[in-house]
């Protein structure tokens, strides 16, 4: 009987052409699209304009340093700040550097000189990278000017360098040394598409039966609800896992997205999340009055869950009530654990908490769905 029910559910899933195409192809197409988008890995050659009001050898050296930066590219030499403002408004440039008059004279005399930097803050990715690159250039030029000023006072080159650069800050990124956007975002974005499709499909688990004429036949035949919905759930969970396997194969095998933990542990973690995710969709399905309601409930849960998960914006930076709400969703624990497993390879004592919480969510949601369904 159970095998017949499972075969029946698989046939239903396959006959629904729209759902079948979404489940089979949306994640794979998304993977290819997102990896193409982030294949550059880091932002290079950010369009930059320079307003040189000094026209000294020192200002030309500063401009040369900007051009030597791989993140910035001078595309316009302007005569006024107003011209630069218009270019930023039009989206032609992202950064404007204004070198003041007497810049070279101030450096020669060992005085402080202020270089104005205007950055288009409407795109946070651009502005953050541009700010970092500009600060690196400014730090290099400032250090060189300071050393020259000390040498002009009679210091030897090594003495001047050691005196000015008394503290040298060495920066090293761990776990993602190249700060590769593709490694950080692509897999998470694809799995977000996958979980959205799966959650919406799972939201049809109960209403998909109680809304059919066959539901009355099952009741008259004395078939237990547990047998029916357990069989359906096993098919759904197995289908969801089969959907994600090609994504992992392409991401880790072909695109070389990093995976530092054991593959089997990662697959087990995905399976536990899939069960928890399916339980949430099943609970939503138990409250739905019809298939349209079920789809709406699934979308309400699935669409904002990635934003709430804390993957793109730190969970700790969210208001407290949103943090509590987010921790009720299995997606939060999955995407948090995804980051640790792919980049850091934590030991079992760390990840077991994630497994436990996902398991508790599954038990609670399936149990609540069973109580609601029993009353129908």
Q: For 189-199, what is each residue's pLDDT tens digit?
A: 889 889 988 89
Which pLDDT tens digits describe the chain residue by residue (376 residues)? 556 556 655 555 556 665 556 666 666 666 666 565 555 556 777 888 988 888 888 888 888 888 888 788 888 898 887 888 888 888 888 888 888 888 878 777 767 778 888 888 776 677 777 877 877 777 776 666 666 665 666 666 665 565 555 455 566 678 887 777 778 888 888 898 899 888 988 888 777 555 555 555 555 555 556 666 777 888 889 989 988 998 899 889 888 888 999 999 999 999 999 999 999 999 998 888 887 788 888 888 888 898 889 887 888 888 888 889 999 999 999 999 999 999 998 889 999 999 999 999 999 999 999 888 877 6
Whole-model pTM above 0.85? Answer: no
Structural contact between residues 43 and 71, judged by C-beta atoms closer than 8 angstroms: yes
Query: Torsion angle of alpha carbons 77, 81, 82, 88, nearest 10°?
Result: 70
Q: Map out the domains of the chain as residue ranges.
A: 2-38+180-374, 46-164
Structural contact between residues 31 and 251, judged by C-beta atoms closer than 8 angstroms: yes
Report which of 29, 365, 24, 41 is spatially closest to residue 205, judged by C-alpha positions.
Answer: 365
Structural contact between residues 273 and 358, judged by C-beta atoms closer than 8 angstroms: yes
Q: Where are the beta strands (DSSP E) in 87-210?
A: 95-99, 116-119
> From residue 243, how far is each of 12, 193, 271, 342 by CA, in Å?
17, 11, 12, 19
| Cα 325 from Cα 336, distance rounded (Å) | 15
CB atoms within 10 A of CB 256: 10
Fold observed for domain 46-164: abc type-2 transporter like fold (3.40.1710)
């Amino acid at each position: 009987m159970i095998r017949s029910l499972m075969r029946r559910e698989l046939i239903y899933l396959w006959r629904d052409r729209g759902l079948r195409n979404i489940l089979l192809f949306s994640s794979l197409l998304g993977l290819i699209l997102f990896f193409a988008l982030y294949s550059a890995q880091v932002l290079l050659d950010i369009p930059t304009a320079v307003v040189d009001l000094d026209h000294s050898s020192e200002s030309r050296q500063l401009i040369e340093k900007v051009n030597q930066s791989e993140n910035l590219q001078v595309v316009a030499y302007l005569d006024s700040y107003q011209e630069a403002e218009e270019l930023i408004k039009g989206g032609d440039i992202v950064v404007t550097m204004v070198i003041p008059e007497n810049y070279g004279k101030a450096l020669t005399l060992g005085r402080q000189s202020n270089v104005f930097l205007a950055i288009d803050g409407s795109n946070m990715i651009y502005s953050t990278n541009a700010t970092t690159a500009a600060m690196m250039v400014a730090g290099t030029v400032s250090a060189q000017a300071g050393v020259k000023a000390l040498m002009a006072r009679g210091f030897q080159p090594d003495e001047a360098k050691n005196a000015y650069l008394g503290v040298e800050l060495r920066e090293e990124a761990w776990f993602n040394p190249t700060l590769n956007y593709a490694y950080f975002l692509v897999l998470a974005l694809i799995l977000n598409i996958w979980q959205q499709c799966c959650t919406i499909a799972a939201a049809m688990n109960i209403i998909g039966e109680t809304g059919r004429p066959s539901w009355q036949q099952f009741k008259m035949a004395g078939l237990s609800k547990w047998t029916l919905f357990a069989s359906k759930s096993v098919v759904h969970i197995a289908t969801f896992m089969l959907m994600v396997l090609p994504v992992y194969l392409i991401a880790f095998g072909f695109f070389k997205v990093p995976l530092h933990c054991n593959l089997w542990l990662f697959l087990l973690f995905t399976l536990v999340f899939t069960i928890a995710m399916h339980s949430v969709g099943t609970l939503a399905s138990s409250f739905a009055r019809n298939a349209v309601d079920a789809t709406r409930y699934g979308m309400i849960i699935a669409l904002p869950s990635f934003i709430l998960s804390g993957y793109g914006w730190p969970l700790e930076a969210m208001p407290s009530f949103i943090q509590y709400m987010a921790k009720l969703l299995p997606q939060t624990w999955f995407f948090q654990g995804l980051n640790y497993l792919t980049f850091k390879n934590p030991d079992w004592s760390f990840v077991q908490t994630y497994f436990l919480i996902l398991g508790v969510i599954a038990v609670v949601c399936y149990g609540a769905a069973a109580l609601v369904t029993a009353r129908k």
